[in-house]
């Protein structure tokens, strides 16, 4: 089965009637947050309260309040959450949202990969060696592309471009302080809850889109048939289902993955549904990090990531979203994103490594994943 949109995402509350394109155009770095998905979005303005410790969420939310922002990959590091002064909900964005058709002009940028491409392949080779010794079944290894321009980056322009190109995904811009922003377009719903209905949509297993439509369909079909990718995907679904089972009733876990596509990639996808009285933020935190961004076993993967990746992930592979006082909300995995500050952009991309992975192919997969952000610059 193929679908354009990530399925089963909750609709935003009933008052969602603002024109999404003009609302999107109002986002500015410093003090406001944008978050949108296939069913609608929100612009949060002003800061009634900043929240660094997500344990405080239940205490700080009064009736009618919303908490929005991002949690980092490292659960012990401070979150970038706010209770805004004002929230405006919007309908889903349409194709007219402001695509300007430009891409990163390499003449304006200097780029610094961390590590160098050969260094990333060596990290993958080392992970495969550890898997051969036993004790590690899957680990997601990522790399960074640091970009420096000769002039400040147009963050609102980037956000508009991402929104125009990623209508079936989740687009976000979160204030990280001092005009630094987390900006991205993630295809992966970590978890949503609306009136007790829970949806999670883990992705794992990827292949690049092809320009030729026949090649493109064949690439998707090959991904769906790939034993290595299905194994990589099944590890994630198993862990997500196990974590949700602890707090959900009537959990429905499809046995077979389906395909979704972004602008740049095909992914294997499974939509898991259930019912829960737990808040969307508590559900999201109980899932994090899923093996779509960490690995299996969780602790061995965390150790491998810490030892092999020569940088801190910051908010990349953390989560971005919102929750209201009732616990309804939606949280997506912070993927296809970067931290943008002044004239610099730090972009991130990773790939799941399992036995059978080939270092050069995993490097190519991260390069394809970086395209989502590069196309917005
Ligand atoms: C880690 C990333 O993506 C994750 C890894 C995937 C994979 O290894 O196939 C697919 C989707 C995401 O869950 C990323 O985009 O940086």
Structure-derived torsion over alpha carbons of residues 308, 295, 226, 8, reported in degrees to the nearest 10: -130
Per-residue model confidence as pLDDT tens digits over 18-41:
788 999 999 999 989 999 999 899
Number of structural domains in the chain: 1
On whether residue 360 sits in a domain, the answer given is: yes
On whether residue 242 sits in a domain, the answer given is: yes
CATH, residue 252:
3.60.120.10
* Ligand 1, atom nearest to 352 Cα: 8
On whether residue 104 sits in a domain, the answer given is: no
* Ligand 1, atom nearest to 333 Cα: 13
CB 73 within 8 Å of CB 66: no
| Residue 334 in contact with ligand 1 by CB distance below 6 A | no
Distance 293 CA to ligand 1 centre (A): 7
pTM over 0.90: yes
On whether residue 51 sits in a domain, the answer given is: yes
| Residue 233 in contact with ligand 1 by CB distance below 6 A | no
On whether residue 101 sits in a domain, the answer given is: no
Predicted ipTM beyond 0.95: yes
On whether residue 355 sits in a domain, the answer given is: yes
Q: What is the pLDDT of residue 5?
A: 36
Q: What is the pLDDT of residue 19?
A: 84
| Residue 313 in contact with ligand 1 by CB distance below 6 A | no
Cα 308 to Cα 280: distance, rounded to the nearest angstrom: 32
Ramachandran class of 356: left when φ > 0, alpha when ψ lies in -120 to 50, beta otherwise: left
Per-residue model confidence as pLDDT tens digits over 147-173:
999 999 999 999 999 999 998 999 999
Q: Which of 335, 346, 359, 361 should be mutated for ligand 1, with most atoms under 8 A from CB? A: 335
Distance 203 CA to ligand 1 centre (A): 7
First to last CA, the chain: 33
Count how many Cα atoms sit within 13 Å of the Cα of residue 293 in the half-sphere of its side chain.
Answer: 25
Ranges in the chain, pLDDT < 70: 1-17, 95-106
Q: What is the pLDDT of residue 179?
A: 84
On whether residue 130 sits in a domain, the answer given is: yes
Distance 350 CA to ligand 1 centre (A): 6
On whether residue 320 sits in a domain, the answer given is: yes
Per-residue model confidence as pLDDT tens digits over 223-248:
999 999 999 999 999 999 999 999 99
Domain holding 292, by residue range, is: 2-96+111-374
């Amino acid at each position: 089965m193929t679908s354009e949109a990530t399925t089963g995402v909750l609709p935003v509350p009933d008052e969602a009637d603002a024109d999404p394109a003009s609302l999107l155009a109002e986002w500015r770095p410093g003090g406001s947050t944008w978050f949108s998905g296939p069913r609608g979005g929100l612009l949060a303005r002003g800061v009634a309260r900043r929240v660094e410790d997500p344990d405080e969420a239940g205490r700080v939310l009064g009736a009618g309040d919303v908490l929005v922002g991002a949690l980092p990959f490292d659960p012990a590091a401070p979150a970038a959450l706010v209770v805004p002064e004002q929230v405006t909900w919007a309908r889903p964005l349409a194709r007219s949202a402001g695509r300007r058709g430009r891409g990163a002009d390499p003449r304006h940028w200097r780029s610094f990969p961390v590590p160098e491409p050969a260094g990333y392949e060596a990290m993958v080779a080392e992970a495969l060696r550890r898997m051969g010794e036993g004790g590690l079944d899957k680990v997601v290894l990522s790399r960074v592309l640091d970009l420096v321009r000769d002039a400040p980056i147009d963050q609102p322009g980037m956000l508009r471009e991402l929104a125009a190109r990623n209508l079936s995904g989740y687009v976000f811009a979160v204030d990280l302080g001092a005009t630094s922003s987390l900006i991205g377009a993630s295809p992966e719903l970590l978890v949503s809850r609306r009136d007790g209905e829970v949806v999670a949509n883990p992705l794992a297993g990827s292949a690049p889109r092809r320009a030729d439509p026949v090649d493109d369909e064949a690439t998707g079909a090959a991904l769906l048939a790939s034993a290595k990718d299905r194994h990589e995907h099944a590890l994630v679904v198993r862990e997500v289902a196990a974590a949700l089972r602890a707090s959900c009733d009537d959990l429905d876990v499809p046995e077979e993955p389906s395909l979704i596509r972004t602008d740049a990639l095909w992914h294997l996808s499974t939509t898991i549904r259930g019912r829960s009285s737990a808040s969307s933020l508590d559900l999201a935190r109980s899932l994090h990090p899923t093996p779509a961004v960490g690995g299996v076993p969780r602790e061995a993967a965390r150790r491998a990531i810490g030892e092999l990746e020569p940088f801190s992930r910051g908010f990349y592979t953390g989560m971005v979203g919102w929750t209201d006082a009732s616990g309804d909300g939606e949280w997506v995995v912070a993927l296809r994103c970067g931290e943008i500050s002044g004239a610099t952009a730090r972009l991130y991309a990773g790939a799941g490594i399992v036995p059978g992975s080939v270092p050069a192919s995993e490097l190519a997969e991260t390069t394809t994943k970086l395209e989502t952000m590069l196309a917005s610059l």
